[in-house]
Structure 1
Amino acid sequence: MKSSKFLHGFTVEKIALPDVEINYASAGNGPPILLLHGHPQTHIVWRKVAPLLVNAGYRVIAPDLRGYGDSGKPKSDADHLPYSKRVMAQDQIALMSKLGYEHFSVVGHDRGGRVAHRMALDFPDIVDRLAVLDIAPTDMMYAQTNKEFATRYFWWFFLIQPYDFPERMIASDPEYFLRRHIAGQVKIDGSVSNDAMTEYLRTYNNPDTIHAICEDYRASAGIDLDHDKLDQGRLIEAPLLVIWGAMSVVGDLYDVEATWQEKAKNVTGFALPCGHAIPEEAPDELASKLLTFFSDK
């Protein structure tokens, strides 16, 4: 166990699960909240938000998803099942169980939101409340693909190409790819500090991370859609908070709240004045919305 360099007051440690080691930061006392990051970030994307939740009286756990950051990067298979959102959700259920939590609330940004969506469907008795940030449902986004979406979210179609085409292309200059990716989504200058970018680069420079990220996206375009199809018509039972960036691609192209009303029984939605990286661009506004949502019993 060591002190986090990025999340004030948090400690960082690893916990061994049956097929993967999960790196996570934690702090606080009170009702548990699980924070799930997206691509291409790690758990430090929550560095501005997590301490605010702790100060408000919550126990906060912020892991690196499998394949990302300092968590393990298990081998994949032809169906990309080890990087399906179902398996990634099971990781987090197992992590929280080992920490002693039988039920908890979840906030997921980007890929973490997709993991959280699957978690809420597969474990309705465990997920108390759910918040997803700047995403529309995966199956809908693929089904409604058009030129504008494919252009602005090109990595959805690049990263799913067969091994090892995208891996080789990114490995030729991972820093350039990462910086361009983040710069294209952040609309508020200065939201990602130099030290945070350096930390993202540290883990992104690992070829195993790049491969795992590609597998994450390959799963989303394949086995995750199969799982979604089998659950067609099932609704999220937990109260759902949907937040999107008013300047983000998702906010621009979709009626985000309406897309989630087709997936959940109880949906509340808000736009915040930022781009895609809501936890980094609008942390105070995000924390305020989350705290109101979690306290509304």
Structure 2
Amino acid sequence: MFDGFSSHDVPVAGGTVHARAAGDGPPVLLLHGFPQTHAMWHAVAPVLAREFTVVAADLRGYGRSRTDDEDFTFRAMAAGQLELMRALGHDRFHVVGHDRGARTAHRMAFDAPGAVLSVALLDILPTLEVWRSMDAWLVQRYHHWAFLAQGGGLPQTLIGHDPGFYVRWTLQGISGTSVPFHPEALAAYEEAARDPAVVDAWCRDYRAAAGPDLEIDRADEEARLDLPALVLWGSLGTVGAREDPLELWRRHFPRVTGRALEAGHFLAEERPEEVCAALLAHLRPAAGRAGRHG
């Protein structure tokens, strides 16, 4: 799926980050979500690589990234990705994230504003807003937020009984549609889920989101960044069903633009052509402005 992309396993604080890279031009970091790997960008990365240097990475503990660190806050995830990009020679770059990767991109923008040239956030609302609106309607759609955050090895044990089933059931449940996942991508997600260390990373990620991540985000709740930002969401999914994503994200990124696509949660795999068009329209001028200002 990533013909022509080089493979990298880069040492970072607390482990290694696995990534694929290709292209020439302004650097763009692609970050995936749960329960996926960098394979989710298989239809998007090659298109962007025609004009940009594209790095598609696995998050901390996900996919083929490895960690011996117990810190799974989005701050720690973002720090590892920053180390990856610097190791590959990119001190300043654009970030595109989906799901957990978008939450990592959000945190990275605030923790390292000098490194992040622009952000694109796919199908998420701010983490604080999700928890604030967690009612009977939302918990039916985001049940995994509470399930994976349970301690004592409960989710790890239950998922370990049949990891492939859990991945397939979760992908369809979160999507809100019948997504035709690429067979190789789906195989990559199932392969990752069969690794107990990956499942443990999922759980630690969601446990952090229910704990320390909330305090970190509250500290920045009133902060604003004058940064080019794109927000895309699926009109058939959950994110825009009750609130306007642009209104919520404008509180953090005043220059945000974006729109809904006719899709569920997994935009890059359901509507790759539309996602590519929207990302290129966002990245080209953002890259031009960055070039003019150094």
Check conservation: 2:192, 2:198, Cα contact below 8 A. yes
Equivalence map 1:101-120=2 (5 Å):
101-120=90-109
Distance in 2 of aligned mates of 1:203 and 1:189: 22
Check conservation: 1:8, 1:47, Cα contact below 8 A. no
Equivalence map 1:1-297=2 (5 Å):
6-55=1-50, 57-76=51-70, 82-186=71-175, 189=178, 191-296=180-285, 297=289
Give the structure 1 partner of residue 292 of structure 2: none
Post-superposition Cα deviations, 1:242-293, rounded to whole Å, max 9, x if no partner, equal 0001111112233111110112121102111111001111111001001011
**Matched residue type, 2:110:** L
Q: Bigger CA drift: 113-122 or 190-199?
A: 190-199
Give the structure 2 partner of residue 3 of structure 1: none
Check conservation: 2:172, 2:179, Cα contact below 8 A. no
Distance in 1 of aligned mates of 2:7 and 2:229: 29
Does the residue aligned with 2:138 lie in a helix, a strand or coil?
helix
Distance in 2 of aligned mates of 1:224 and 1:190: 30
**Matched residue type, 2:223:** R
Distance in 1 of aligned mates of 2:99 and 2:189: 16
**Matched residue type, 1:70:** R
Distance 1:284 1:22, change over 3 A: same
**Matched residue type, 2:226:** E
- 1:189 Cα offset (Å): 4.5
Distance in 2 of aligned mates of 1:169 and 1:37: 24
Check conservation: 1:35, 1:108, Cα contact below 8 A. yes
- 1:295 Cα offset (Å): 1.4
- 1:188 Cα offset (Å): 5.7
- 1:235 Cα offset (Å): 1.3
Does the residue aligned with 2:206 lie in a helix, a strand or coil?
helix
- 1:141 Cα offset (Å): 0.8
**Matched residue type, 1:12:** S
Q: Bigger CA drift: 249-258 or 216-225?
A: 249-258
Distance in 2 of aligned mates of 1:252 and 1:7: 34
Post-superposition Cα deviations, 1:31-67, rounded to whole Å, max 9, x if no partner, equal 0000000000000100000000012x10000010111
Q: Bigger CA drift: 119-128 or 244-253?
A: 244-253
- 1:193 Cα offset (Å): 2.1
Q: Bigger CA drift: 139-148 or 40-49?
A: 139-148
Distance in 1 of aligned mates of 2:13 and 2:206: 23
Does the residue aligned with 1:83 lie in a helix, a strand or coil?
coil
Does the residue aligned with 2:187 lie in a helix, a strand or coil?
helix
Aligned Cα root-mean-square deviation (Å): 1.3
Does the residue aligned with 2:169 lie in a helix, a strand or coil?
helix
Check conservation: 1:105, 1:130, Cα contact below 8 A. yes
Unaligned 5+ segments in structure 2 are: 290-294
Does the residue aligned with 2:95 lie in a helix, a strand or coil?
strand
Distance 1:140 1:187, change over 3 A: closer
TM-score w.r.t. length of structure 1:
0.93
Distance in 1 of aligned mates of 2:101 and 2:167: 18
Check conservation: 2:97, 2:122, Cα contact below 8 A. yes
